[in-house]
Structure 1
Amino acid sequence: MPDSAGISRSVTGAASEGTSMNMSLGAISARITSMILAASVALAPVGVQAAAKDKASLPIVRDAEIEALVADYARPLLKAAGLSRSGIEIVLVNSDAFNAFVSGRRIYINTGAITATQTPNQLIGILAHEIGHLAGGHQQRLREQLERSQTIAVVAGLLGAGIAAAGAAAGGGSAVGAGAGLMMGGGGIAQRNLLGYQRGEEATADRSALTYLEATGQSGRGLVETFEILDRGNLFARSSGGNYTSSHPMPRDRIAALQRLAQESRFYGRTDSPELAMRHDLARAKIVAYNDGAGAVRRMFARDPRSLAAYYGDAIGTYLAGSPASALAKVDALIKAQPSNAFFYELRGDILVEAGRSQEAAAAYTKAARLDKTGSGILKAEIGQALVTSGDPAKMEEAIRLIREGLSSDPDNSVAYRFLAMAYGRIGEVGRAELATAEGYWHGGAFRQAKIFAIRAQQKLQPGTPPWRAAQDIIQTEIR
């Protein structure tokens, strides 16, 4: 907010120019409105802000292993909330900040929230809380509350500007000060109303989370532990919009209330199964290894350096450091320890691709896809992607078939479209290559680029054919 002297100068200058008075008051009102809007959005949950952004603006990460784990966490909770058939999508955001939020029909989970939670139950608690917001329709109601808060602030701002203008015209400094105070007070009222609303919705989501955990036979201890850890780390006092606590205000009395309610459950003392705990640690090791290297993995598992997760992270770190022979030896040891783990074979395929051994890589990905119980389209597409890297035109038709098979179950796999375009290009089908590029941009949320490549594709495709019509659909779809 500008100080009262700044407001006085603006209004006095406008008064000396007759009809310019209304224009200046309008400018002041617009400035007040924009500042209140900015303040309100800053106070809103991060999910509301993300809803206004193109999906392409977020650093989305696709990983079959981590997606399967989080889906297993969320599935029973969504069922308990009555949302199992609502088409809820869980999206992983590659950020080390602890954050999770809802936007539309999506639940966004930062990879930092996975690495920061030491047990499955802790992340499950956070998911249950976010599902509580989703089931309660809090996002839509928050938008309505924002509108009401902005109206209060704008009305107060206009009234204050009017008093200030009248006071300035009459030479009354006290009236100008009163007008400025009223404008500032209007913003304060709006903020208090909004914060009060948020506290109520957070408490409601807490209770809903405990209800879902109870219904699925899980403990609420993990949710309490996570909030206490964040509180001890003083994260709740930060004003940055990049962490969980900036959008989830957490006074100590709320933590205490949550603790009391969680302890009333007969499942409070229930712990995670060893198998689930291992999967959680494997996911944490994978994220840290890819983002920060093998040294960070060693620090994370310093208390258990001989764990499978520590070895997994070390194998990934070795592969990323450019030592494929050593990485293969390490991943083969992992496979020997867990021969039914699909994602160890996936890592083996990644290493072999990097080493230029595409046929062996395709075999490893095929084994991974066969072992995978979720039917991940990512793993299926990777078989074809490995064949594309061979550069052999004779293998491109099979690569195209395999990639399209993966895309049929996972059309949002933008990496697969890139390889599909390469495969079409290597057999001289340039129009299909540009259509694949357009589809990749489209599913990645980059709609303008998608239209550009769809237009280019249409110019090379036979009019009326299915590929030509697919390009036409992209071109004609309205961008909002």
Structure 2
Amino acid sequence: MPFRLAADRRSLMDRLRQATATLVACGLVAAGCPAPAAAQSSRGLPVIRDAEIESLLRDYMTPIFRASGVGAGVVEITIVNSREFNAFVADGRRIFVNAGTLMDAKTPNEVIGVLAHETGHIAGGHLARMRQQIDNMQTMAIAAMLLGAGAVGAAMVGGSRSAGDAALGAVMGPQEVIRRSLLSYQRTQEEAADRAAVSYLNKTKQSAKGMLVTFKRFADQIAFSRRFIDPYAQSHPMPQDRIENLEALAEKSPYYNTTDSPALQARHDMMRAKLFGFIDTPDGVGRRYPPSDQSLPARYARAIATYRSAPLQGAIAQIDGLIAAQPQNPYFHELKGQAYLENGKPKQAIPELRQAVALAPGAPLIRTMLGQALNTGGDSKTALSELTRATAVDTKNAAGYRELAQAYARQNKLPEADLATAQAAFAEGDYGTARQIAERAKKGLKPGTPNWLKADDLATYKPQKMD
């Protein structure tokens, strides 16, 4: 009997660990942390990097970050290549926003409202508080398990099967109570983030209408299944309740009827067109932006779709039309260079990318593409200069580091090439590979030099826990 009791207790512990792990996962997901981001990297997460879109998002959010107190430049915004409408926070430094959110949001205000809500989570320290809440709940779960396990043992000794089943239920029953308690706690955090977002919008003299549009969209999506939803098993407030609460806050604002500036709306429309051009099928782009639509965003989307799926000559003609309309737009020159580069014509790409860099000297992603064209075109020495400048500004530019490694290798500077390869792995969150290659780079670099010190930092790096 003691042996059987030990086996039963071990089984109960396994079940508790499984239930507790589920609680932790639900808590993190509810707080907006998907599994890939939980490792504090974008490794495995399909991320989009684009100079034009990132610049626009920075302009959207710099006032919000200042209003929230987190500070511009402290929080990163990462674009996830997913068509779903969603945004989430992974820690105290990053907001992830799906491409689908940017594509479906018809105004800048809608995107700003969504990201202001996520900023509320960061400013409120909600993820750290949720983890503390989970730790507290796990302590309760362990206590409940131990009490229940004792009751199971007593029932077994007494030979009562029904009493044993009841005692086993007493062990597992608290798990559902704890899960619901955590979800309730998460709902209060969501409501707090909503209130914080409205306050940030008020401070920056913007409307909360965009948030209302977003939440109404969510409400419409689940309206057909609302009667099957348990409101106490949700991580977010029920949509209608949320809308009513938000309306009451938003309509009090003197900026409720404030609209986005025409210039900002125009940039937003161009961003959406770019995403549709790259992500949607050519037929889908044609339906959304038919030839009869001669607006600049429509022409932009069609030019991108054409270069992706049709002979290069036709795409270049369309891009030239865009450049004629806005000669000082760096992203049109970037697109022309990209079209040439990806069609095996790096030497034709270089002048266009040089022009794009001249028009947007603070865009390291464009400079990276120029470095790639120079590398491919045989000028690795100049590529080194451009890529060094690009990665110095954008230290998370994994593509830039990979191109830098190739440029060093073409110059027969193999230890430096190893260091750049290690930096690329580090930027992608592959810390094990980064440490291994950095250790190899150290052997070929002179101790104490800047590059040796960089390699040593990578070789000895230990990831910290999320904030």
* TM-score (ref. length: structure 2): 0.90
CA deviations 1:166-217 (Å, max 9, x no partner) are: 2133122332232233233201211221122111111111111111111111
- Asked if the contact 1:388/1:419 (under 8 Å) is kept, the reply is yes
- Aligned-partner Cα distance in 2 for 1:150–1:304: 61
Counterpart of 2:241 in structure 1: which amino acid?
D
Query: Please, what is the CA RMSD of the aligned residues?
Result: 2.5
- Asked if the contact 1:418/1:436 (under 8 Å) is kept, the reply is yes
1:285 equivalent to 2:273? Answer yes
- Aligned-partner Cα distance in 2 for 1:247–1:304: 45
Q: Which residue of 1 aligns with 2:246?
A: 258
* Of 216-225 and 53-62, the range deviating more from structure 2: 53-62
Which structure 2 residues correspond to residues 355-370 of structure 1 after superposition, within 5 A? 355-370=343-358
Which of 450, 456, 469 is equivalent to 2:434?
450
Q: Which residue of 2 aligns with 1:29?
A: 13
Give the unaligned 5+ runs of structure 2: 227-232
Q: Which residue of 2 aligns with 1:84?
A: 71
How far off its partner does 1:97 sit? 2.2
Identity of aligned residues (%): 39
Q: Which residue of 2 aligns with 1:347?
A: 335
Which structure 2 residues correspond to residues 104-143 of structure 1 after superposition, within 5 A? 104-143=92-131
- Asked if the contact 1:33/1:154 (under 8 Å) is kept, the reply is no
How far off its partner does 1:101 sit? 1.4
- Asked if the contact 1:411/1:443 (under 8 Å) is kept, the reply is yes
1:145 equivalent to 2:129? Answer no
How far off its partner does 1:389 sit? 1.2
How far off its partner does 1:444 sit? 1.7
* Residues 231 and 215 of structure 1: CA distance in aligned 2, closer, same or farther (over 3 Å): same
Which structure 2 residues correspond to residues 374-389 of structure 1 after superposition, within 5 A? 375-389=362-376
- Asked if the contact 1:153/1:189 (under 8 Å) is kept, the reply is no
CA deviations 1:62-110 (Å, max 9, x no partner) are: 1111111111111000111112257222222222222211223111112
- Asked if the contact 2:306/2:314 (under 8 Å) is kept, the reply is yes
- Aligned-partner Cα distance in 2 for 1:118–1:47: 26
Which structure 2 residues correspond to residues 200-211 of structure 1 after superposition, within 5 A? 200-211=188-199
Give the unaligned 5+ runs of structure 1: 1-14, 239-244
How far off its partner does 1:279 sit? 1.6
* Residues 478 and 191 of structure 1: CA distance in aligned 2, closer, same or farther (over 3 Å): closer
Counterpart of 2:21 in structure 1: which amino acid?
L
Q: Which residue of 1 aligns with 2:230?
A: none
SS at match of 1:477: coil
* Residues 171 and 20 of structure 1: CA distance in aligned 2, closer, same or farther (over 3 Å): closer
Q: Which residue of 1 aligns with 2:423?
A: 439
- Aligned-partner Cα distance in 2 for 1:182–1:304: 68
SS at match of 2:392: helix
- Asked if the contact 1:362/1:382 (under 8 Å) is kept, the reply is no
* Residues 169 and 101 of structure 1: CA distance in aligned 2, closer, same or farther (over 3 Å): same
Q: Which residue of 2 aligns with 1:317?
A: 305
- Aligned-partner Cα distance in 1 for 2:416–2:114: 43
Which of 145, 159, 164 is equivalent to 2:152?
164
Counterpart of 1:187 in structure 2: which amino acid?
Q
- Asked if the contact 1:29/1:161 (under 8 Å) is kept, the reply is no
Counterpart of 2:459 in structure 1: which amino acid?
I
* TM-score (ref. length: structure 1): 0.88
How far off its partner does 1:32 sit? 1.6
1:224 equivalent to 2:212? Answer yes
Q: Which residue of 2 aligns with 1:416?
A: 400
- Aligned-partner Cα distance in 2 for 1:236–1:138: 31
SS at match of 2:79: strand
Counterpart of 2:387 in structure 1: which amino acid?
I
SS at match of 1:57: coil
Q: Which residue of 2 aligns with 1:242?
A: none
* Residues 446 and 189 of structure 1: CA distance in aligned 2, closer, same or farther (over 3 Å): same
- Aligned-partner Cα distance in 1 for 2:166–2:10: 19
- Asked if the contact 1:345/1:364 (under 8 Å) is kept, the reply is yes
- Asked if the contact 2:80/2:98 (under 8 Å) is kept, the reply is yes
How far off its partner does 1:427 sit? 2.2
1:47 equivalent to 2:33? Answer yes
How far off its partner does 1:477 sit? 2.3
- Aligned-partner Cα distance in 1 for 2:290–2:14: 55
Q: Which residue of 2 aligns with 1:7?
A: none
- Aligned-partner Cα distance in 1 for 2:283–2:303: 12
- Asked if the contact 1:376/1:410 (under 8 Å) is kept, the reply is no
Which of 69, 88, 97 is equivalent to 2:84?
97
